[in-house]
Structures are given as C-alpha cells and as structure tokens.
A and B are shown apart, each in its own frame.
Chain A
Amino acid sequence: MTVIDPKRCDECGTCISVCPSDAIVIERAVSISALKCASCGACISVCPFGALSLEEKK
C-alpha cells in the first residue's frame, strides 16, 4: 500500500485531489486508509515534495 512520510508532507492536499478511491484524508495530518488504497500510485507521482511511496505488504 501507499505510505506517507510525515516529515516531508506539507499537507497541501494535492494527493487527495487525484485519489480515485477516496483513500486519503487530512484531519490533523494526512493519513491513508489501507482498506481503501488500491496502490494505483497516482498520489505518489503528483506529490510536489515526494512524501509518498509504495511499501510492500510484509
């Protein structure tokens, strides 16, 4: 699934605008729902600060 590095995230919401599965939410910080994320990668490539990446399920 897609994971977020909170140190790099600026909370701009660009990832949310392209997420087709409504898996990303900002409340106090940005979080990604493991249940909803389809690992499509759309958010990863549009993140201006490179805060998102794919992590293999262990």
Chain B
Amino acid sequence: MNDYDIIVVGAGPAGAMAAMSAAEGGRRVCLIERKAKAGVPVRCGEGVGYRGLTLTLEPRPEWIRATVTRARMVSPSGIAVDIGNVDKSWVLDRERMDADLVGMAVEKGAELIASTPIVSAEKTWSNRYRAVGVDGKGAEVEFTAGCLILADGVESRLARCFGWETALRPSDIETCAFARVKSDCIEPDCCVFYTGRAAAPGGYLWIFPRGGGEANVGLGVIGSRCRAGLPRELLLSFINRQFPGSKVTGLHCGGVPVGKWARPLVRGGVMLVGDAARQVNAINGAGLAYSLYAGKAAGAVAAKSFRSDGSVNHKALLEYQRAWAKNFGKQQERSFALKEFIMSADDAFLDKIAESLSKEDARKVNYLRVFMRAFASKPALLLKAFRLFK
C-alpha cells in the first residue's frame, strides 16, 4: 500500500512547488508524474516577468537564457510600436528549471513517482483520497492520502472526479504552435508580438529571444476561431516568410487556458493548482508565475492543516484560496475582462491604436499606455470592461 499525507498529481512547476513546500512542512508527500520526465518537451514561450517570478522563487542563474529590455508590437497592417519602457523580464530555460524544481522537491523529502499516469481518483469511506495510476509496466497502482493536490496541467481531468466542471469553452482556450528558430535576424534583447487576423486570430504571435541567435517563435489562436491544424499552418508560413532559410527545431503545440480561474479551488481535501485551476493571465497567456505561487501556497497550507490524529482540517485548506484571491486572483479576473474586450476589437481598431502610439517617444511607451490608448478610443468598451472588473 502506498500511503502518504499528501499526494500531488503532476510534476510541472505548480506540482513541484506544491510538493516542495508540503515536504518542507514535514509531511509525507508523493509527486506523481505521467511522463518519464516532466517538462519535456517544453510547452512554453519561456517569457516571465521579474516581479512575478521572484515573488515566489529566487531563480538560479542557469535558468536565465536572456534578459529582455524592450518590446515591439506589430499591428495587423504592419505598423510597429516600440515599447521602450518594459518591466524587467527574462526568457528562461524551462527544461532546466522544471527539472531543478522537481529535484528541489525531492531534496526536501518528496517521493517522485514518474512514468505513472493517474487515471482516476475518489474519496474513500474513511474520508481519505485514493488515486489509481498505471505504472511503467502497465500494472495498476494505488495511492492513498489525506489530501490531494491536483496539478495536472491544461489537460487536467481529475478535477472532474470531484464535481468540478473544468471543460473550457472554445473561447477560453488559446491553441498554440511554436518552435525554436535560429537566425541572424533575432534581436537578443527584444520581445516582438504580432497581432491581427492574418497572424493569429484572437491571439498573438510571439518572438522571444533565448540567446545564441535563437528565439522561441510561436502563436496562439482563440479556440472559437480555430480550425483543425490552423496554428501549425500559420506558424510555418510566418517562419518561412520572416526567417527564410533559418534552422527550425522543436516544433510542438499546446493549449493555454484563458478563462477565469476555477472556483472553488478547494473541495473537501482536494486542491487545484496551476493550469488545472486555470490560473493563467488571460491577456498574455502567462501562467508560470501564477503556477509557482499557487503551488507553493497550496503545499504550505496543506502541510499545516493536519490534525494531531493525522486527519485533515478541510476548512483550513481554504486559506489557500484566500491567499490566491488576494495576491493574484483579482489580477487574473481583470486580465480576463481585458481579454473579452480585446476579442471584441477588429483589425482596424488595433491599427488605429498602433498608428497613434507609433508617433510617440518609445522610451515613454509601456504596456499600460497601450491599453489606456485602446480604451480611450472606445469609451463604451471601457465601461463594459469595468463592469466585468467587479
């Protein structure tokens, strides 16, 4: 019998952080991962803001591939807006970072069980939780614990075992294709974004430099405007046009949830964290900083919610949801409202904003200014967005 205090399913950043902080809190923790190695292939643009990341974690120098000091947004008709005043941000080596986070969780005492997809989970008669997986040899394995942390990513199914309706509307998922491109045309310190129907309907295309003349190039299409295979086609044609003859490796795809964060985050002894909880900034698809924070908070709260007889105080677990709501939840909801607003805008609107901003001093332009300009030119939408803020 594999019995623990806390089971964490999924060894991405959310799960690794949860396992690490739960083990640090003195609990017997297992971290169960479907793949032989979590984080491979990397499904991420690897961009992260300094503030968001360092709130939870001091990054190791070897995780940082590039420091970004400026950005450019290209409108549908090709008007470029230089954003000189960007908050400090990095492009990371996620493969390395994800592996190190799992290593750190193991160092703190969590037991890693890899190559074991969990196929079902349930509450037992004794008020504990059972998760059933399939091990590397195809045999069924059972795990039991007093608390279950679900960090099973965008593909999360296990929350459905406990009554959560986590299926996303097509308008709440960005469907993405991305690759690594090596080319002389890559600017080593600049993130470039393309918008518009031709580049990425209801999403954007990104170029994030990662050192050595290489960049992550990818795009997301909103699910409601997607058709089978469209992200892949758009990406390959962009790369052919923009970087002809370049070396392209690691062509992969992925989905980014861009709905509202899942409520509640806690049911009984079950907690949702990271992409499984839809904790992603809906305007730019950034989920790493949120996942790290949520994982750490959930693990720490779970660890201290055990009573002396080994049972779990389910009410005490709710502190995790309160902490998330206070620190990032409001921000996430605002990003969702902004996303809904942007989705209602057409190419002509984006061009108009770009045109007016392109005449300004780039050193003074920041992301906020871009949004304010958008709102200023459509006051009716501003009102609508504010109603959504509440």
Chain A residues positioned under 8 Å from B43 (CB to CB): 12
Question: Quick one: given A14-B253, A50-B229, are A45 and B223 in contact (CB under 8 Å)?
Answer: yes
Chain B: interface size category: 20 to 34
Q: Provided the pairs A14-B253, A26-B117 are in contact, do residues A48 and B231 lie with their beta carbons within 8 angstroms?
A: yes
Q: Are B157 and A12 in contact (CB-based, < 8 A)? A: no
User: Would A13 and B153 count as touching, CB distance under 8 A?
Assistant: yes
Measured between alpha carbons, how far is A36 from B166 in the docked complex, in Å? 17
* Whole-angstrom distance between the Cβ of A36 and the nearest chain B Cβ: 11
Pair B226/A45 contact, Cβ less than 8 Å: yes
| Most chain B CB neighbours (cut-off 10 Å) among A16, A19, A20 | A16
Instruction: Give A26's nearest chain B residue, CB to CB.
Output: B155
Say yes or no: B253 contacts A49, CB within 8 Å: yes
Contact A17 to B134, CB < 8 A, known contacts A48-B177, A48-B232, A53-B228: no
Known: A13-B255, A18-B167. A45 touches B177 (CB 8 A): no
**Which residues of chain B from 213 to 270 have a CB within 8 Å of any chain A CB?**
221, 223, 226-232, 252-255, 257
From residue A53, how far is it (CB to closest CB) to chain B in Å?
A: 7
**How far does the alpha carbon of A53 sit from the alpha carbon of B156 in the complex, in Å?**
22
Q: Does A47 contact B (CB under 8 A)?
A: yes
- Per a CB cutoff under 8 Å, which of A13, A27, A48 touches B229? A48
The A9-35 residues at the B interface (CB cut-off 8 A) are: 10, 12-14, 16-20, 22, 25-28
The interface size bin for chain A is 20 to 34
Question: A22-B160, A48-B229 are contacts. A17–B119 as well, Cβ < 8 Å?
Answer: no
Q: In the complex, how many angstroms separate the beta carbon of B41 from the nearest chain A beta carbon?
A: 8
Query: Are A20 and B167 touching (Cβ within 8 A)?
Result: yes
- Nearest A residue to B220 by beta-carbon distance? A48
The answer to whether B173 and A50 touch across the interface, beta carbons within 8 angstroms, is no
- B199 interfacial contact with A, CB 8 Å: no
Bound form: Cα–Cα A16–B166 in Å: 10
Nearest B-chain residue to A8, judged by Cβ: B229
CA distance A13 to B166 in the complex (A): 13
- Assess whether B34 is in contact with A25, with CB atoms less than 8 Å apart: no
Chain A residues with Cβ below 8 Å from B157 are: 16, 22, 25
Would you give the shortest CB distance from A10 to chain B, in whole angstroms?
A: 5
> A18 touching B168 by the CB < 8 A rule?
yes
A20 to B169, CA, bound (A): 9
Inter-chain contact B175/A47, CB cutoff 8 Å: yes
Do B223 and A46 touch across chains, with their CB atoms under 8 A apart? yes
**What 5 pairs across the A-B complex have the smallest Cβ distances?**
A50-B229, A13-B155, A14-B255, A48-B253, A50-B228
Could you name 15 residue pairs across A and B whose Cβ atoms are closer than 8 Å?
A: A12-B255, A13-B153, A13-B254, A16-B154, A16-B157, A17-B154, A22-B167, A44-B228, A45-B223, A46-B226, A48-B221, A48-B226, A48-B229, A50-B229, A50-B230
